[in-house]
Amino acid sequence: RRSRPAVSPALVGPRRHSQRDILSMNSTGTEWLRSTRSGGFCESLLALSNRTGPWPEEPPFVGERPGKLEPGAAATAASIIFLGGYELLTARHSIPVARYLNILILLNGITSMMNHITHNVYFDFWDGASMILAVNLAAALWFETLVELVWPRWCSCCVSAGPPLRTVCIGCVWLLVCAVMTPLGMTRVAPFGGLLAIPGSFVLFFNLPILLMVLTAAAMLHCGMSHMIQPTGSHLVSTATSDEPAGLCEGDQKDSPAPASEWALLGAARVYLWVGVASYLFGFVCWNVVEQGCDAMPDGFRAIGHAIWHLGAAYGLHCLFCLLIFFRAVLDARRFDGRWRFRFRSSPSTLLRVWLCVLPVPEVLEPPLGMSV
């Protein structure tokens, strides 16, 4: 029987990679990162002439859809980059951790944009990892601030134990959030998505810290006035220039020892909290509805689902960032003379005032000379 002549691999074209090949590539170290792609989101289907499959020949990828350019998601990732830089360069405070948080948001925006353009698994990893790190870092700082604010009243029975017990509680908060929640969240980031097979675990691990921050912030802003308006029994004087009651009822103002300017700040904080929550939820629901029902979605929804998530989540988390600086400023007032030195930046220009109303800039003014923490 005549033997078939050998054919050069170059003439055959790219061969189909089996699952064994992919696993073999993954086990050789980082070499596979150069060629393996992370797959795509629902928007990537718009680049295919056949929307229902089977998909054309593609290099090996992690995911269920071929990684194609996603222009809507890539373009709106610029909003994440903008807000990260906006917070870093305009917010006035002295919290180094918050500045590192801004850097993580910037990194998330850049890697998210590159992920939606190239679908390289390296950018996919940093896209997910920077989100997890930023949310958990913010949550740890948030709950540390909360413990400091409520400790004198809610933990009065532990006052005799002194600062060490409070320090232990704060340390446990950081351990729980950063040493437990963060590694759990990273198990859902490519290429480690199969380490913990729990349905919906990414939604849980990423959104649980955000949910707890929102609930505790709402509790403090609506029910925790005793911890904020009068934390040390002193009469606080805000540096805010507005004397408007910010939508609060007349009885609330009359019964409180705080001046109207403080109620204006509290009213603004409440508005930004719920506007931020609504923005985040809208983006989250749009994204998940489109991704989960992608096969039955019209092309118009496929094109905007992930883009709305970028815009809604970025703005919602910006509002939460402003509230984080607000609560830290209330805590700092206790360490100085009891006076609030927080304000949302304003401007005599009508155009800039509108801009700063939509995109608030938190500011914490310097304490008087001679005062120290």
C-alpha 159/C-alpha 292 separation (Å) is 51
C-alpha 280/C-alpha 316 separation (Å) is 5
Is the CB of residue 239 less than 8 Å from the CB of residue 341? yes
Strand, helix or coil for residue 120:
strand
C-alpha 91/C-alpha 98 separation (Å) is 10
Strand, helix or coil for residue 154:
helix
C-alpha dihedral sign at 275, 277, 283, 285: negative
The whole-number pLDDT of residue 159 equals: 55
Taking only the tens of pLDDT, the chain with its 373 residues reads 444 444 444 434 444 444 444 444 444 444 444 445 556 788 888 876 655 555 555 444 444 555 678 999 999 999 999 999 999 999 999 899 999 999 999 999 999 999 999 888 889 899 999 999 999 999 999 999 998 888 766 655 555 555 678 888 899 999 999 999 998 888 888 777 666 666 656 677 788 899 999 999 998 888 866 666 554 433 333 434 333 333 333 334 434 444 447 778 888 999 999 999 999 999 999 998 998 888 778 888 889 999 999 999 999 999 999 999 999 888 877 666 666 678 899 899 999 999 999 999 999 887 654 554 4
Q: What's the predicted TM-score (pTM) here?
A: 0.78
Is the CB of residue 340 less than 8 Å from the CB of residue 236? yes
C-alpha dihedral sign at 116, 102, 220, 158: positive
Q: ∠ CA 305-307-308 to the nearest 5 degrees?
A: 70
The whole-number pLDDT of residue 9 equals: 41
- For residue 312, give every residue at least 6 positions away whose Cβ sits within 8 Å of its Cβ, in sequence order, or none: 279, 280, 281, 282, 283, 284, 286
The whole-number pLDDT of residue 50 equals: 58
